[in-house]
Amino acid sequence: MKALILKDLYIMWTHIRWLYIGIVVAVIVLCMSGTINFLFHMVTLTVFLCYAFQVYRSFHYDEESKSDRILRALPLRLQSIVAAKYLFSALLLLHALLISAGILFILSFFIPDGAINIPASLVFGVSVTSLCLVVMLPLLFKYGSDKGGIIYAVLLAIVVFVPLAFRSLHMVMQNIMNAEGLLQISYYLILLVIILILGLISYRISYCIMRSKFSS
Amino acid sequence: MSNDILTMHDVVIDGNGQLIGPLSFAIGTYAFAALIGPSHSGKSSIINAIAHIKPIKSGFLSVCGYTGKNKSQALKAQLGCIFEDSIFPYDLQVKDFRRLMGLIYDTWDANFYSSMLDTFSIDPSLQLASLDADAYLKFECALALSHHPKLLLIDESERLYSHSSRLELFTYIRTLLDNRSLAGALIASRSEMDLITYADQIIQLEKGSIVDSDEIDHCKTPVHASKSSKACEVSIS
């Protein structure tokens, strides 16, 4: 499993400069658009989705090189092959969290009271992207990067561009941020547990999909 | 039977909707065998079944002494695979695999891998994308053999490797078999060109069935020493 994660990280590393350039351009465009209200949320979401795209890309890359036959000839358990993609995604989320925090920290110097929004924006980014990934991964395992990517893009559009969904998510985040002390920590823990449960369900579905693919 | 590296008895395989078999053949230890047949004759499906990539529908299959499904990982560790239709991540460098494969195979020999790259004059810092077809085949060969597998599987069903690459590859395989560094090799190909010189056994396939099986007698002339098929006696078993 380590080898597969490392392989995906190596591949991502070879194109990391494009990822960073994409993030920088997106952040500049967002800052210039003047939507101060949702700026931190949008910046965080953009960074996270850029990283989530790397997960899609790793599937696309595997398909392009037809490496599934090689993968299946290696002495790896099916669980490891599926879990490697999930752990790779988790590592990317963690990296996106660090990069977003850094960008928001810098932006907070230029925007009055910006620092207050940082935790809410980060929680928002993690939540939305995790939800997208738990849906996207089984789709990619099932349909491959072409069909799976299209379905993912539609889902993403629903989540990001439907104002109602966006606003209600934002309200949830604001409620969490407005809570105090232990209550806020409880909210964080509940959110984390929900993400983990959804992740495990998603992993199980992906595993079943791959098992039926491998046995056919 | 115990001297065979591979035994198939009445094996039926589902090859993308087309039933292949029942197939029965055996490959002796230290033998170089070839599956020859036109497109869609079932060569790749047989290789997939041997490598436990696809399950068999029925029959008895023994590879390197492993028979059951539950020993799939242990069996796969004993196999080295070169598949013409699959490529390794082309953005990676040759040297990256030194570490990656060490995480997959317990028996991975990084020094052997490096020495093979030296032998084949492949620069480890090169990206796979920059290797030409010949160099890529040599890289695959180094990768497939550096965990010291018992059985080497080669599939060139879709497109033949270049003549010079094939000769170099077959000579190398022959040397490994003669040195007892490899317990067996099986190649699936559309053409028996060169194989009549190097292989010990040629199995002809057509529409999912074995139509002919030739054992080539190299007793009088060592295979690797002869470049001419005239020197080999072919006897139909």
- Smallest Cα–Cα separation from A114: which of A37, A179, A188, A181? A37
Q: Note whether B91 contacts A215, CB cutoff 8 Å.
A: no
Phi, psi of B14 (to 5 degrees): -90, 105
**Cα separation, A121 vs A140, whole angstroms:** 27
Strands B209-217 and B201-206: antiparallel
Contacts of residue B74 in chain A, CB cutoff 8 Å? 75
Q: What's the pTM value of the predicted model, to 2 decimals?
A: 0.80
| Domain residue spans of chain B | 4-234
DSSP B217: E
DSSP B174: H
**Cα separation, A95 vs A125, whole angstroms:** 12
What's the pLDDT band for B231 if we cut at 50, 70, 90? Answer: very low
Contacts of residue A67 in chain B, CB cutoff 8 Å? 86-89
- Smallest Cα–Cα separation from B83: which of B57, B50, B116, B56? B50
Give A53 to chain B, closest Cα distance, Å: 18
CATH fold for the domain made of B4-234: Rossmann fold (3.40.50)
User: Directed axis angle between helix A2-14 and helix A78-107, to 10°?
Assistant: 40
Q: Note whether A14 contacts B92, CB cutoff 8 Å.
A: yes
Q: Note whether A67 contacts B89, CB cutoff 8 Å.
A: yes
Give B11 to chain A, closest Cα distance, Å: 16
Q: Which residues contact B46 (CB under 8 A, 6 or more apart)?
A: B13, B20, B23, B35, B188, B205
Contact B155, B183 (CB under 8 A): no
Of A7, A73, A77, the CB nearest to B53: A73
Residue B229: pLDDT over 50? no
- Alpha carbon A146 to its chain's center: 18
Q: Could you tell me if B129 lies within 8 Å of chain A, comparing CB atoms? A: no
pLDDT tens-digit profile of B103-125? 999 899 999 999 989 888 889 99
Cα angle at A9 between A4 and A11, to 5 degrees?
Answer: 95
Query: Which is more confident, B158 or A180?
Result: A180
- Smallest Cα–Cα separation from A85: which of A110, A62, A116? A62
**Cα separation, A60 vs A55, whole angstroms:** 9
pLDDT tens-digit profile of B144-174? 999 999 999 988 766 667 778 788 888 888 8
Query: For tokens 């700026």, what's the residue?
Result: A39
Average pLDDT over all residues of chain B: 81
Contact B150, B78 (CB under 8 A): yes
User: Directed axis angle between helix A2-14 and helix A16-33, to 10°?
Assistant: 60
Please give the helix or strand (H or E) that residue A101 lies within, else none: helix A78-107
What's the pLDDT band for A68 if we cut at 50, 70, 90? Answer: confident
- Smallest Cα–Cα separation from A68: which of A127, A145, A139? A145
Kindly identify which residue of chain A lies nearest to residue B55, measuring between CA atoms: A215
Chain A residues whose C-beta sits inside 8 Å of any chain B C-beta: 2-3, 6-7, 10-11, 14-15, 61, 65-70, 72-77, 215
- What's the start-to-end Cα distance of chain B, in Å? 17
**Cα separation, A154 vs A57, whole angstroms:** 17
Q: What is the ipTM of this complex?
A: 0.79
Kindly identify which residue of chain B lies nearest to residue A77, measuring between CA atoms: B73
Query: Which is more confident, A4 or A166?
Result: A4
Give B23 to chain A, closest Cα distance, Å: 20
pLDDT tens-digit profile of B16-62? 777 887 888 889 889 999 988 888 888 888 998 898 888 888 888 88
